[in-house]
Amino acid sequence: MAKKIIPNPGALPFSKAIVYDSKYVMELSGQVGLNPETGKLAEGIEEQTKATLENIKDVLKEVSWNLSNIVKVRIFLADMKDYAKVNEIYSKYFTKDYPARVALAVKDLPLGALIEIECTAVGDSA
């Protein structure tokens, strides 16, 4: 898969844009910080963010992809005051060639979650 990253200046953990040439596109449904074994939400924004990103990794593994296949991330937060904490954790999962991204505050999220993330991934095989 050919991918051109248009980076953001500075330390922001997302790119301005990504141009890609790919055979397959995956639209991941919104993921929340549910433990897949217990069906319970993780506690607090930090643990929910980690669990959400791990759930996304698990979906990508279904087609032998990883986080580097993601080109667009949409983050929904129950409270924008959690933005800095989310960025801190997010930047441990995405360390270079950041996906394009938007983060929005919303009134409510499913199951009382503090964060929901949906994304678009691309790859040459599925």
> What is the value of pTM for the model shown?
0.87
Confidence of residue 61 (pLDDT cuts 50, 70, 90): very high
Q: In this predicted model, which residue has the larger pLDDT, 39 or 52? A: 52
The pLDDT of residue 11: 67
What is the average per-residue pLDDT within 18-42?
88
Confidence of residue 5 (pLDDT cuts 50, 70, 90): confident
2-123 CATH, one of 1.10.10.10, 3.30.300.30, 1.20.1250.20, 3.30.1330.40: 3.30.1330.40
Q: 14 near 98, Cβ under 8 Å?
A: yes
The pLDDT of residue 41: 96
Domain boundaries, the chain: 2-123
